[in-house]
Structure 1
Amino acid sequence: MLNPKTYYYVHTGHRIGLDRFRRACTIMRLLKDVDITLLCSDYRIAQIASEFGVKKSVGVDVVRNIPQIANHGDRLIFDSSEANPNMLQDMRAYFSRFVRISDDANDKKEEDEFLISPYLEGEGILNTLVIDEKYFINEEKIIDISFFFGDDDYDKQLEKNLSLLDGVDVDLLLGFYYFFDYEDMLKEKFERHYEFEEYDDVIKKSKILITSSHQAVLENLASGGKPIFVQREDYPEDFLEIFKKLNIPIVQNYQNSQLLTILKARKIHEYYKVEHNNKKLVDFLKVSLNL
């Protein structure tokens, strides 16, 4: 294939949030000089991707539809845990260059692929976390404590577990996928709230961020904040080991007492800095994709 195209597939949607999507947008902005088409498993996200700096985006519904857009010999960055081993092997054979992003500490790199992982190291692997450049610029922290549950709450887990925040004065950052009636209820519960479009400002300007979004944790930490991670019962625990290494406090099972204890100790709690590896990331991707 003389002129292979480059695609980036990301699994995102109203049941899994936008963490992978935000990571994809970060990588595509870093590779701004490369012609990349973003393939989203959610049509709604594909429609608004341009607001995140993505020039080309297409909704593909399910991962099996990727070959309907991409051709044999094209290049693919793949950020999803949907595919089984057989499907991944087919992709490695279908694409001339295949870069996979994994959050699984028990994963392993296969032949004919390159891997980005916060856990693994070795040939053809980049050990890094993906965080946008804009979060490494510290801004004045004018919000004492903010709370961001995430960009998805299809089953209204937040409403069921609002007791987590008992006794805590917080500003609420609304997510992207809240239904209209649910959003109105949350606005009534929280005197100070921010719309989805204010995400960047809230993340960068919060002294303390309480969130169940692992990407928001990393972004707030990079910007000089003190994040607290809430591990959702319905979410995988892929980032717990990383957060422990960064000394990020973790709340399990929506325990209010655990959160209050963490907040009481916040002045003496020491966070570790997250590495700024974006130059390595760009270099790795350009070599891996043969750009």
Structure 2
Amino acid sequence: MRTFYYVHTGHRVGLDRFRRASAILNCLKDEDITLLTSDYRIAQEARNFGIEKSVGIDVVRNIPQIAENGDRLIFDSDEANSVMLEDMRNYFSSFIRISDNKDDSKADKEFLISPYLEGEGICNAVVVDEKYFGDFKKDVNLSYFFGDDDYEKDLEKYFSFIEDLHPHLQLGFYYFLDYETMLEEKFPKNFEFDDYEEMIKRSEILLSASPQAILDSLATGAKPIYFQREDYTKEFIPLFEKLSIPIIYEYNKNTLNKIINNISVIKYEDIDQNCNKIASFIKNNLNL
């Protein structure tokens, strides 16, 4: 009986779920778990995140080509409809689903990890890697991370949103080669994809559309600002409101300026270290 962890990744959905999986798998280093991604490229890169076993499977329906009936699965994706989810619950001996939907509910034959829900068979937790908790030298005033994906080149379309702030730019994973070259020229102060951890730890203020980056930043004691991309889920909004994280919609420049000018008085909430809690929940319910 083997254990798998599936995450939805790709050039139109980014790497937020992958970064979350990396955090969880780092808490389960002693367990034999194979990561499955819907993108071959990040599967090859996974070793640089400390993930020893990873396989690209292209689409969620290919999971049974790798896993066998009776195996165990951790599932982080919104690709599956109710019928597919029920099939998975029946196919795997143990099934843990990660949910960001505050209106979700736990089904029979599954366990849930959620920042919103509580109850039997549910782990109420926000996932952040342990490495982001601590005291860090904040020598970068402002960093800007649009996200790991920008297929439509929206970052370029909205340069006016941030260019006069002269931020350090965090480059994403799924950027076109010529596009990335242009961005590096436009923003001479930049962080490469591999420098994400350094960027998170060094940035005093992080402006980002990546929900996971926002949570990682908050853990370091920084002052993150979330802006809602039109093509990204809005499921994190209630969580960010609870944590007193400022939120910007529709590239509202005036709102951004007001937030930055008054950021010293914003009382951000602390985020808990949940590594042991999540690891124990997974081990107990997958019988690891």
- TM interval, shorter chain, is over 0.9
- The equivalences for 1:153-168 within 5 A come to 153-168=150-165
Letter in 2 for 1:49: A
User: How far off is 1:166 after superposition?
Assistant: 4.5
- State the SS of the aligned residue for 2:113: strand
CA distance in structure 2 between the partners assigned to 1:108 and 1:221 by the alignment: 27
Could you tell me which of 165, 180, 204 is aligned with 1:183? 180
Rounded to whole Å, the distance in 1 between the matches of 2:71 and 2:21 is 18
2:245 matches 1:248: yes
Deviates more, 1:207-216 or 1:271-280: 271-280
Correspondence for 1:87: 84
- In structure 2, what is the Cα distance between the partners aligned to 1:56 and 1:134? 21
Counterpart in 2 of 1:234? Answer: 231
The one of 44, 49, 58 equivalent to 2:46 is: 49
Q: Is the 8 A contact 1:166 1:256 kept in 2?
A: no
| Whole-angstrom distance in 2 between the partners of 1:165 and 1:273 | 27
Looking at structure 2, the residues matched to 165 and 215 of structure 1 have their Cα atoms a distance apart, in angstroms, of: 21
CA distance in 1, matches of 2:164, 2:65: 52
Task: Give the length in aligned residue pairs.
Answer: 288
Following the alignment from structure 2 to structure 1, what is the Cα–Cα distance between the partners of residues 135 and 210? 20
Q: Within 5 A, what are the aligned runs for 1:50-199?
A: 50-199=47-196
Q: Tell me which moved more, 210-219 or 161-170.
A: 161-170
Alignment check: 8 A CA contact 1:75 1:97 kept: yes
TM-score under structure 1 length normalisation: 0.97
Deviation string 1:19-47 (CA, Å, 9 cap, x unpaired) is 00011111111111110011110011111
The CA distance in 2 between the partners of 1:221 and 1:83, in whole Å, is 30
User: In percent, how many aligned pairs have the same letter?
Assistant: 58
For residues 10 and 200 of structure 2, what CA distance do their matches in structure 1 show? Answer: 21
Question: How far apart are the structure 1 equivalents of 2:249 and 2:175?
Answer: 23
Q: Partner amino acid for 1:7?
A: F
Q: Secondary structure at the match of 1:267?
A: helix
1:20 to 17, 20, 25: 17
Tell me, which stretches of 5 or more residues in structure 2 are unaligned? none
Stretches of structure 1 that go unaligned for 5 or more consecutive residues are: none
Alpha-carbon distance in structure 1 between the residues aligned to 2:158 and 2:272: 33
Query: Residue 200 of structure 2 aligns with which residue?
Result: 203
Match of 1:31 in 2: 28
- TM-score, normalization by structure 2: 0.98
Cα distance per residue 1:121-165 (max 9 Å; x no partner):
110001111100000122110101111111000011111111111
193, 199, 215: which one aligns with 2:212: 215
What per-residue deviation string (whole Å, max 9, x for no partner) do you get for residues 61-99 of structure 1? 111110011000000000000000000000000000000
What's the CA shift for 1:234?
1.2
- Runs of 4 or more off by more than 3 Å in structure 1? none
Contact 1:212 1:230 in 2 (8 A): yes
The residue identity in structure 1 corresponding to 2:36 is L
